[in-house]
Amino acid sequence: MNLLRFAAALALGLVLLLGFWLATYYLLFSALSPEGQTLLQKALYERVPALLLLVLLLVGVLGLMLQPLFLGYLAASRALAREAEVILEANPKHRLRLKGPWELRELGQLINRLAERHEAREEELKARIEAAKRTLLEERNRLAALLGQLPQGVILANRLGQVVLYNPIAKGFLPGLALGKSLYGLLDRHLLVHALEAPGLPFRLEDFRLQALKLEEAGGGFVLMLTQPEAEQDLGALFRQLRARTGALRSLAEVLPRVPPAEQGPFLALLRQEAERLAELLRQEEAPRREAQSLKALALALARALEDRLGFAPGLDVSEETYVAVDRAALLQALGPLAREAEGFYIQGRPWKGLARLELFPVAQVPPAFLQAVSQQGGEAWLEGERLVLLLPSLAEPPAPASRAGERPPTFDLRLLEPPDRELLQRPLRSLLYTAFDLETTGLDPERDSIIAIGAVRLLGDRLLEESFEALADPGRPIPIAATQIHDLTWEDLQGKPRLEEVLPQFYRFQEETLLLAHNGAFDLAFLQKAGQRQGLAFRGPLLDTLLLGQVLFPEAPSHSLEALCTRFGVPVLGRHTALGDTLMTAEVFCRMLPLLEGRGLVTLGQTLEAMGKTPLARLRYA
Amino acid sequence: MARILIVEDEASIRLPLEYILRQEGHQVAWAESGEEGLRLAERLQPELVLLDLMLPGLDGFEVLQQLKARQKPPRVLILSARGREVERAKGLALGAEAYLVKPFGLEEMLAEVRRLLE
């Protein structure tokens, strides 16, 4: 480009010069008599070689004069503009390298000073925004805590059925749940429509009950509530069991008198068995609903309940952790006026002989209701001097995450509430869901080499979501040293990992309904498509490639490697050449590219793909 | 004397029935699943089938339907812990001659058997 302009300027200079000469010649020529004209013509024709030499000399001089102007001033000022744009749009800490002619250096200095000042303002603004954000975050956390504590699973979806919010319990019921994913892929469409037509009426599904509620406001989405099927639902089953057991007992009892004593053996054995089954059935039903929890959590709850009554916080000491299953609410309710008037009150807890032991002191006497509640929970309590000892059966292992899931916040992104209806290509880059990913392979040939690691994260516009994917796959054969030198993975590391046939479908589901994003993605996509073909999984483009986007944004930059882009954008380079490490870097780079792309008028996916396709590398590789 | 087939997966119910029906002089065979019951019914051509509804594999109602779809269907007495009005109605609608809800007395059962074999 620069070269072309340089040549054009040279040609223009030449034309001007020649024009001047020709005009002079014409004026001179027309003023002369015919003899003079003949003389002049002759003199000129004789000196044609010398004149041509002169023209060449002039071109050379002109070139020498223009060269620093174009390749120095113009190219340098273009580079200056690009660099300045980086400061403005992507990395305020970036500073211009001062080189080229002194005028430009001075300009660069000025821009750097401006950037300095701009950065200071930005910092100040950022601090203010941070403060506002903190307030907002507190509100958000309160909402999240509320949702997290709900005993039901909650899913909020927009009117297209895309998931906007969900809490961990909902994820427990529907493991495939992810932000932006369509509910229609997770639940039967007819069922959803039915549930929406009968709001408030719970639908019994295999693993849970589903209740749907249409939202008239907020763009017309809907809320789903998922609950465990209630105990009453199983009452019918219980009755059937009871009938069957008593039926057997009755038949056996009635037949026994008719059986001679010598033949009664098998009947008596069945009778005993039936009696035991009945007893077991009743034991199950009698068991109160106890929640698995840590001893620490129980002690803390006791301390809080006592604090209200004592007016001060009891001392708490649970050094070693163990887990118990108790109905905490029933226990707290029965606690009553336990503490005596005292300066202090203490609660100690520890594992003891395979049980959980809590000691509360000083205690004068134990309310009978408390003893009863403890014994109902399968525990025992007694007074040792001033110490109330509480023994509870200890659980073999900590409660499963699902039962503690309530303490974790829900996942949401409210921007999904307003789904754009437009065609994919018309949609702004900011509104799209991406799966940034990277592969490690055993080599460079998709036909022969295979994928051994996949890392991926999901993004909504320029926001990284907390949904990631990481998997290693056993290639089933040794990995060439050349490949190991890049990613440090040897066959020994991968033996015992699942095969790609297992991993690939998982990744396929992870990236479904999103746009793929990768650095030098043509390579990775080729591998994915080849491997997918063998398993009947179609990995579809379009794919956004940060390598090509780098070319769109910085055509003059000498390198568009992931490291170079990271350095430019101030993205820390961590864990290079692990699939997830590279993926995270690609994602961060893309987030910072977004405003720059928008600054270039590349707002929609269609515009961006078009610009990407025009880069020289794309024409080389995607052709 | 009649050929009777008991289709019941629980020994504690099956054994007393089998014993008392043999005492009554009947020829008794039994099956522990719906599929096995259908095979035996084909081979033995029983006059009466005592059929439980909650069976492993093929559901009792389906066994009933297949039994009743044969050229010479046996009479069927359902013995089940499923005692709701709708379940009884369904059993009778599908062609069962009688329906006893567990727990029933052996005499009650024998009376039904006698009535059905008349």
pLDDT in tens, B24-73: 999 999 999 999 999 999 999 999 999 999 888 888 999 999 999 988 99
Under an 8 A CB cutoff, do B20 and A240 touch? no
Q: Return the residue of B nearest to A236 by Cα.
A: B82
- Measured between CA atoms, how close is A206 to chain B, in angstroms? 19
- Measured between CA atoms, how close is A210 to chain B, in angstroms? 26
Contacts of A239 in chain B (CB under 8 A): 81, 83
The verdict on B16 touching A (C-beta cutoff 8 Å) is yes
Bridge partners (DSSP) listed for residue B100: B79
Alpha carbons A573 and A585: distance in angstroms, whole number: 7
Bridge partners (DSSP) listed for residue A223: A156, A213
Cis, peptide link before residue A288, omega less than 30° from 0: no
Under an 8 A CB cutoff, do B104 and A241 touch? no
The verdict on B14 touching A (C-beta cutoff 8 Å) is no
| Residue A589 confidence (pLDDT) | 94
- Contact of A538 with A64, CB cutoff 8 Å: no
Under an 8 A CB cutoff, do B104 and A240 touch? no
Place of tokens 């309710």: A333
Which of A502, A578, A517 minimizes the C-alpha distance to A549? A517
Q: Which tokens belong to B104?
A: 């029933």
Q: What is the mean pLDDT of each run of 10 residues along chain A (623 residues)?
A: 78 88 88 88 86 86 80 78 85 83 86 89 89 83 75 84 85 84 81 74 72 74 79 66 88 89 89 86 62 81 78 83 80 71 82 86 81 79 84 73 45 57 78 92 86 93 87 87 82 87 91 90 87 86 88 85 89 79 93 90 89 75 47
Under an 8 A CB cutoff, do A243 and B104 touch? no
Catalytic residue among A94, A487, A519, A577: A577
| Residue A145 confidence (pLDDT) | 75
- Write the DSSP symbol of residue A473: -
Cis, peptide link before residue A393, omega less than 30° from 0: no
Q: Hey, CA dihedral for A368, A373, A376, A380, is it positive or negative?
A: negative
CA B81 vs. chain centroid, Å, equals 13
Q: Catalogue the long-range contacts made by A446-450 (C-beta closer than 8 Å, 24 or more residues apart).
A: A446/A526, A446/A527, A446/A529, A446/A530, A446/A531, A447/A530, A449/A483, A449/A527, A450/A475, A450/A500, A450/A531
Contacting B residues, span 39-78, partner chain A, CB-CB under 8 Å = 54
Which of A240, A250, A274 has its CB closest to that of B105? A250
Under an 8 A CB cutoff, do A258 and B23 touch? yes
Bridge partners (DSSP) listed for residue A453: A440, A472
Q: Which DSSP string do the residues of A97-154 spell out, in sequence order?
A: ---SSHHHHHHHHHHHHHHHHHHHHHHHHHHHHHHHHHHHHHHHHHHHHHHHH-SSEE
Contacts of B20 in chain A (CB under 8 A): 255, 258
Segments in A155-294 forming alpha helices (H)? 168-173, 189-197, 235-255, 265-286
Residue ranges per structural domain of chain B: 3-111
Provide the angle, in degrees to the nearest 10, between the axes of the packed helices B60-68 and B85-93. 20
| Residue B51 confidence (pLDDT) | 95
- Measured between CA atoms, how close is A286 to chain B, in angstroms? 22
Under an 8 A CB cutoff, do B102 and A246 touch? yes
Alpha carbons A295 and A593: distance in angstroms, whole number: 50
Contacts of B104 in chain A (CB under 8 A): 247, 250-251
CATH topology of domain B3-111: Rossmann fold (3.40.50)
Under an 8 A CB cutoff, do B103 and A255 touch? no
Contacts of B17 in chain A (CB under 8 A): 251
Alpha carbons A84 and A27: distance in angstroms, whole number: 52
Alpha carbons A471 and A497: distance in angstroms, whole number: 9
Catalytic residue status for A577: yes
Q: Which DSSP string do the residues of A450-469 spell out, in sequence order?
A: -EEEEEEEEEETTEEEEEEE
Radius of gyration of chain B (CA): 13
| Residue A336 confidence (pLDDT) | 67
Which of A239, A251, A271 has its CB closest to that of B106? A251
Query: What mean pLDDT is reported for chain B?
Result: 91
Under an 8 A CB cutoff, do B13 and A244 touch? yes
User: Across A296-371, where does the E strand assignment appear?
Assistant: 315-318, 323-326, 346-352, 355-361
Under an 8 A CB cutoff, do A254 and B106 touch? yes
Contacts of B23 in chain A (CB under 8 A): 258
| Mean pLDDT along residues B84-100 | 87
* Chain A interface residues (partner B, CB cutoff 8 A): 236, 239-244, 246-252, 254-255, 258-259, 266-267, 270-271, 273-274
Report the amino acid identity of residue A291: E
Contacts of A267 in chain B (CB under 8 A): 15-16, 19
- Measured between CA atoms, how close is B72 to chain A, in angstroms? 31
Place of tokens 């008593």: A246
Under an 8 A CB cutoff, do A270 and B11 touch? yes
Contacts of B82 in chain A (CB under 8 A): 240
Under an 8 A CB cutoff, do A247 and B106 touch? no
Q: How far is CA A69 from CA A4, A62, A463, A495, A555, in A?
A: 14, 11, 44, 62, 21
Alpha carbons A354 and A176: distance in angstroms, whole number: 38
Question: Residue A293 is inside which H or E element, if any?
Answer: strand A291-294
- Measured between CA atoms, how close is A265 to chain B, in angstroms? 12
Q: What percent of chain B has pLDDT over 90?
A: 68
Alpha carbons B41 and B58: distance in angstroms, whole number: 15
Q: How far is CA A404 from CA A287, A293, A409, in A?
A: 21, 8, 11
The verdict on B101 touching A (C-beta cutoff 8 Å) is yes
Alpha carbons A209 and A225: distance in angstroms, whole number: 8
Neighbours of A356 (CB within 10 A): 26
Alpha carbons A579 and A529: distance in angstroms, whole number: 18
Question: Number of Cβ pairs closer than 8 Å across A and B?
Answer: 71
- Measured between CA atoms, how close is A367 to chain B, in angstroms? 44
- Contact of A331 with A373, CB cutoff 8 Å: yes
Alpha carbons A117 and A115: distance in angstroms, whole number: 5
Predicted complex ipTM: 0.78
Under an 8 A CB cutoff, do A254 and B104 touch? no
The verdict on B25 touching A (C-beta cutoff 8 Å) is no
| Residue A417 confidence (pLDDT) | 55
Alpha carbons A311 and A93: distance in angstroms, whole number: 54
Q: How far is CA A151 from CA A168, A212, A324, B13, in A?
A: 10, 16, 20, 42
Under an 8 A CB cutoff, do A244 and B81 touch? yes
The pair phi, psi for residue B112, each rounded to 5°, is -65, -45
Q: How far is CA A531 from CA A398, A501, A527, B10, in A?
A: 40, 9, 6, 52
The pair phi, psi for residue A7, each rounded to 5°, is -65, -40
| Residue A221 confidence (pLDDT) | 81
Alpha carbons A576 and A488: distance in angstroms, whole number: 10
Which of A161, A157, A215, A154 minimizes the C-alpha distance to A184? A161
Q: How far is CA B5 from CA A330, A394, B37, in A?
A: 53, 51, 8
| Residue A225 confidence (pLDDT) | 86
Contacts of B10 in chain A (CB under 8 A): 244, 248
Going by DSSP bridges, is the β-strand pair A433-441/B48-51 parallel, antiparallel, or unpaired?
unpaired
Alpha carbons A9 and A66: distance in angstroms, whole number: 8
Backbone conformation region of residue B56, classed left if phi is above 0, alpha if psi is from -120 to 50, else beta: beta
- Contact of B36 with A270, CB cutoff 8 Å: no
| Residue B52 confidence (pLDDT) | 94
Q: Return the residue of A nearest to B10 by Cα.
A: A248
